[in-house]
Amino acid sequence: MKELLECLERDHTQTPEQLAIMLNKPAEEIAALIKKYQDEKVIIKYQTIIDWEKAGVDNVTAVIEVRITPQREVGFDAIAERIYRYSEVRSLYLMSGGYDLSVTVEGTSLKEVADFVSTKLSTIDGVVSTTTHFMLKKYKYAGVIIKDEEEEHRLVISP
């Protein structure tokens, strides 16, 4: 049921009873579907989005473009697996276009991210080149506006 998954993706804290009301289904059916989706790994994980800046934690995030030489019989997967196993890696995507993998990493400083790129990422067999882009400001993450200061953006009309 796509509607259930969309509701959970927006707000995973809703109870089966609340979801049942929204979806006009019995709560038992909703609870059973959630359990089934968890067991089948359709629902992989529930995640809380935190504004780390507001929490006083200064992290550095970078998106790294990685060009690689695919390996015989496994293509990009073997190198991707080596990369996604590092704790610094937050996300990893196979891309089309001018590079092969998009790697998002997080560290406590520019130096820490740079060290990761130079000592771990770029030394992997098959990695041809990397280009690192440091994120300066996060406006929206996982569909959520981080600093929603939009109280009233309508134009004032005066007589």
pLDDT per position in the chain (159 positions), as tens?
899 999 999 899 999 999 999 999 999 999 999 999 999 999 999 988 888 888 989 899 999 999 999 888 888 999 999 999 999 999 999 999 999 999 999 999 999 999 999 999 999 999 999 999 999 998 988 888 887 665 555 566 766
Task: Kindly state whether residue 14 falls inside one of the protein's structural domains.
Answer: yes
E-assigned strands of the chain?
60-68, 89-94, 101-107, 127-134, 140-141, 144-145
Contact (Cβ atoms closer than 8 angstroms) between residue 60 and residue 106? yes
Domain count, the chain: 2
Q: What was the pLDDT predicted at 83?
A: 97
Q: What was the pLDDT predicted at 156?
A: 64
Place of tokens 């992989």: 44
Contact (Cβ atoms closer than 8 angstroms) between residue 5 and residue 37? yes
Same domain? 75 vs 135: yes
Task: Kindly state whether residue 150 falls inside one of the protein's structural domains.
Answer: no
CA distance 89 to 94: 14
Residue numbers of the domain that contains 66: 53-141
Task: Kindly state whether residue 120 falls inside one of the protein's structural domains.
Answer: yes
Q: What was the pLDDT predicted at 4?
A: 95
CATH of the domain at 14: 1.10.10
Same domain? 59 vs 102: yes
Q: What was the pLDDT predicted at 153?
A: 57
φ/ψ of 24, rounded to 5, equals: 55, 50
Q: What was the pLDDT predicted at 50?
A: 85
Q: What was the pLDDT predicted at 1?
A: 84
Global pTM reads 0.79
CA distance 59 to 101: 22
Same domain? 66 vs 96: yes
Same domain? 98 vs 61: yes
Same domain? 137 vs 62: yes
Task: Kindly state whether residue 34 falls inside one of the protein's structural domains.
Answer: yes
Place of tokens 């820490």: 112
Same domain? 99 vs 125: yes
